[in-house]
Amino acid sequence: MQKNKVFIETYGCQMNAADTELVYGILQNFNYEIVKEAASADVVLLNTCSIRENAEQRIYGRLGNFKTMKNEKPGLIVGVLGCMAERLRTDLIEEKKIVDIVVGPDEYRRLPELIDIAFNGGKGIGVKLSRTETYDDIIPYREDGLQAWISVTRGCDKFCSFCVVPFTRGRERSRELNSILNEIKLLSERGFREITLLGQNVNSYSDNGSDFADLLDACAVVDNKIRIRFTTSHPRDLSDKLLYTIARHQNICNYIHLPVQSGSDRILELMNRSYNIEHYLKIIEKAREIIPGVSFSTDIISGFPTETEEDHEMTINIMKSIRYDGAYMFKYSPREGTKSFKMLDDVTETIKSRRLQEIIDIQQKISFEKNQELIGKEEIVLVEGLSKKSDLFFAGRTDTNKVVIFPFDSKIKEGSYVKVIINRASSGTLFGAKKVESSKLKVES
């Protein structure tokens, strides 16, 4: 039987990238062939993101392209997966009549059936959210490489007032610890060197009495040549036990993504973030005490309803006092169905843009200065391959997730760890010279 060809275009967060591999895994079990471009596919699926308005607008634009493609290639099936499927099902199918399939994050197992419905001229719709689906038994499709993502929790129960995720991805649930370990074993056998454990709030992981620190602990010992990363941590749930676990294992990266969202307690309260700045700073202090050399990144929203210049200054102050290694910064975007959608979006576009630019500039300066401080220091780098810009250089990453460029050396293989002395730095990249291969995965302090 001839195989149907499927292509998935992925938008949004790493969870979506991991889900795309999961969907490919499901479809491969049903005799689908994965292709690398939409033009050669019989089924094109867009794995979508609803986190901000501009993400959705971009995807609507892309759907317009596929509508044209369908005119030229009747029979082409176009589908929407992910968060937009959950949020905009009627709009996509009934009103705009753009797509044949709409499938939310908890119904991917039904895709083969829903695609069949579409091939027979119907509409394939699956948008129920589940309290239990974790896709534990599905092996995601992954190309060979060094880096892999594994979702350890799905959904979110935090209900931050600005966030659509609890509505599009449903209630929080955890995957079985053993199924995660088995997946890491398979990746280890295939030579993977870095695994990122994913969840909207990984710290609330819970399986049969094991918490997230237990999970990390167990993942770290599967293969001590595999670096373990994780994201995202919520400041409310980050435990001391977790910090000690990171410190204890030389293959758990000294890097914590800990979104602060705002430096103002008043705004944090309106955001329903359930911590204040004092608590947040205590975690940072504790982490620095327990894990010397730990680095932090964050998410910040600019222009949340009622945000004043004073609140904005508080955000700047927190950035300056913590000195993050990196930050993802966004303009507030009202999302229908969330609590803050009912609040007046009263910070004008001009002010939002100006405040966003201010914090971007500040972060850039801090990143640059922090990288300058690394000149003369030794970093342990996982060699990822040749640098994109030149075959004369290798590119790799430190455990704090910084890109390092250093001279090519035919004796060094991709996937090995090397000590590199940093001799130059920009705000985004470190440059250095190799010393020797390293049996350690992070710098000892």
Query: ∠422-428-432 over CA atoms, to 5°?
Result: 15
Instruction: Return phi, psi of residue 35, to 5°.
Output: -120, 165
User: Which residues face 329 on adjacent strands?
Assistant: 300
Counting Cβ atoms within 10 Å, is residue 23 exposed (0-12), middle (13-18) or buried (19+)? buried
- List the structure tokens of 251: 């293959």
Q: Both ends of the chain: CA-CA distance in Å?
A: 59
CA distances from residue 79 to 67, 150, 207, 275 in whole angstroms, order as listed: 11, 24, 33, 39
For ligand 5AD, the closer of residues 133 and 299 by Cβ is: 299
- The partner in contact with residue 156, picked from ligand 5AD, ligand SF4, none with C-beta cut-offs of 5 to 8 angstroms by kind, is ligand SF4
Amino acid in position 5: K
Q: How far apart are CA 82 and CA 88, in angstroms?
A: 11
Closest contact distance (angstroms) between CB of 269 and ligand SF4 is 14
Assess contact for 192 and 148: CB atoms under 8 A: yes
125 binds ligand 5AD (CB under 6 A): no
Interface with ligand 5AD (CB under 6 A), residue total 12
259 is an interface residue for ligand 5AD by CB under 6 A: yes
The verdict on 169 binding ligand 5AD (CB under 6 A) reads no
Smallest gap, in angstroms, from Cβ of residue 330 to ligand 5AD?
4
Report in angstroms how near the CB of residue 163 gets to ligand SF4 at its nearest.
Answer: 3
- Minimum CB separation of residue 161 from ligand SF4 in Å reads 9
Q: Please give the Cα distance from 20 to 39 (Å, whole number).
A: 18
> Which one among 149, 162, 275, 296 touches ligand 5AD, defined by CB under 6 A?
162
Residues 184-213 touching ligand SF4, rule: CB under 6 A, are 200-201
State the helix-helix crossing angle for 309-322 and 277-290, rounded to 10 degrees.
Answer: 10
Q: Say if CB 187 and CB 148 are below 8 A apart.
A: yes
Q: What is the CA radius of gyration of the chain?
A: 23
359 makes contact with ligand 5AD (CB under 6 A)? no
Beta carbons within 8 Å of 425's beta carbon, 6+ residues apart:
368, 371, 372, 374, 375, 431
Our finding on whether 377 is near ligand SF4 (CB under 6 A) is: no
258 sits near ligand SF4 (criterion: CB under 6 A) = no
Q: Is residue 323 part of the contact set for ligand SF4 (CB under 6 A)?
A: no
Helix (H, G, I), strand (E, B) or coil at 408: coil
292-351: contacts with ligand 5AD (CB under 6 A)? 299, 301, 330, 332-333, 335
Which range, of 30-38, 162-170, 277-285, 324-332, touches ligand SF4 by CB under 6 A?
162-170
Distance CA 200, CA 152 (A): 10
CB distance 177 to 218 below 8 Å: yes
Q: Which is nearer to ligand 5AD, 79 or 235 (CB)?
A: 235
The footprint of ligand 5AD on residues 415-434 (CB under 6 A) is none
If one asks whether residue 273 binds ligand 5AD (CB under 6 A), the answer comes out as no
Q: Binding to ligand 5AD by residue 163, rule CB under 6 A?
A: yes
Residues 99-158 that bind ligand SF4 (CB under 6 A): 156, 158
Does 233 bind ligand 5AD (CB under 6 A)? Our answer is: no
Min CB(162)–ligand SF4 separation in Å: 7
The answer to whether 426 and 368 are in contact (CB under 8 A) is yes
Give the span between the Cα atoms of 339 and 46, in whole angstroms: 28
Cα separation of 169 and 87, whole Å?
A: 10
> Under the criterion CB under 6 A, does residue 50 sit at the interface with ligand 5AD?
no
Instruction: Identify what 330 binds: ligand SF4, ligand 5AD, none; CB under 5 to 8 Å per kind.
Output: ligand 5AD
Q: Is 51 in the site for ligand 5AD (CB under 6 A)?
A: yes
Q: Does 49 bind ligand 5AD (CB under 6 A)?
A: no
Nearer to ligand SF4, 156 or 267 (CB): 156
Q: If you search the block for the tokens 């966030």, which residue do you land on?
A: 163
Question: Which chain residues interact with ligand SF4 by CB under 6 A?
Answer: 156, 158-160, 163, 165-166, 200-201, 234
Question: Which chain residues interact with ligand 5AD by CB under 6 A?
Answer: 51-52, 162-163, 259, 261, 299, 301, 330, 332-333, 335
